[in-house]
A = this chain, B = another copy of it.
């Protein structure tokens, strides 16, 4: 183990402390003259239930220390995962942190910020010495909470939480040395994806559509018109060769047509538009079931992690959701009959 006698590396010590995940709070109060003061802190914790008490600590070197030492009341805000920018704003010194913020508090009261995961109005109960910090213990006089998934701070960076579930522990594995484990991310991605698709196979087959048809229609629902070459470029990574045949079949079904503005490029017909909206409604029903089962906190984290996985494996695909290129005809190398 590292000794904290000299020579002592504070950065390494902080890294070890950072293994303890925390939420992120903003603590606010007012100066004697009524000026709003606030600071980001993750040193918060609950202390007592009867009386209800919480604590946090502030560096003795902090400019706002004398304000908090004199203040009779202060508010703690547990930040939601959407308040990272607010956390950064209150972590920086100098600027007018409250500029443009709408407050839920009355004149002269300690500032109360909206949209937080939970909030606690406190009156100072104790101030204790804590080395180079002062520990503030407050008695909670009022509180509220909304369901917003909280922002976390873990190992030196912002983080999201997801519920850890015993119920989904690993299946007993007949051969622990088998090359193909159920913990392979590739397997888990494939199974989750195909089970998702499974939920929209019924409307797909009712419309006589293949997986490839679905990918092309959903692509055109985001960006159109697109040339066959552009469609192929977007869809190539799924391993399906969108050749003339598939596109001609969609045209024959009356779901896509040649663009009037951009010859050779394809767009959805009214029927094609209706068809993809119908399928997307089915997809959203599956999505709602998943979010319902996982909970909003886990859904936020899952989306975040899938986006990171996509970024980590991106073969350099064209952006899907950006405004269409100035001239879609640039990629026009193929035509559809």
Are B320's CB and A182's CB within 8 A? yes
Complex Cα distance A139/B130, Å?
A: 10
Q: A2-B144, A305-B301 are in contact. Are A47 and B130 (CB under 8 A)?
A: yes
What class of interface size applies to chain A in its complex with B? 35 or more
Q: Which chain B positions have C-beta within 8 A of A306?
A: 185, 188-189, 191-192, 302
| Interface of chain A residues 146 through 163 with chain B (CB within 8 A) | 150-152, 154-155, 157-163
Q: A21-B150, A193-B189, A211-B239 are in contact. Are A164 and B81 (CB under 8 A)?
A: yes
Question: Residue of B at shortest CB range from A112?
Answer: B1
How many copies of this chain sit in the oligomeric assembly? 2
The interface-forming segment of A29-37, A64-72, A113-121 is A113-121
Contact for A137 among B135, B238, B283, B290, CB less than 8 A: B135
Q: Which chain B positions have C-beta within 8 A of A283?
A: 184, 186
Complex Cα distance A194/B45, Å?
A: 43
Residue A46, interface by CB 8 Å = yes
Are B312's CB and A19's CB within 8 A? no
Residue A323, interface by CB 8 Å = yes
The interface-forming segment of A93-101, A169-177, A250-258, A327-335 is A169-177
Q: Which chain B positions have C-beta within 8 A of A208?
A: none
Residue A63, interface by CB 8 Å = no
Are B131's CB and A51's CB within 8 A? yes
| Interface of chain A residues 117 through 146 with chain B (CB within 8 A) | 117-121, 125-126, 128-133, 135, 137, 139-145
Q: Which chain B positions have C-beta within 8 A of A91?
A: none
Are A185's CB and B290's CB within 8 A? yes
Q: Which chain B positions have C-beta within 8 A of A86?
A: none
Interface CB pairs A-B, < 8 A, 7 = A4-B140, A16-B143, A51-B132, A180-B280, A185-B287, A196-B309, A286-B313
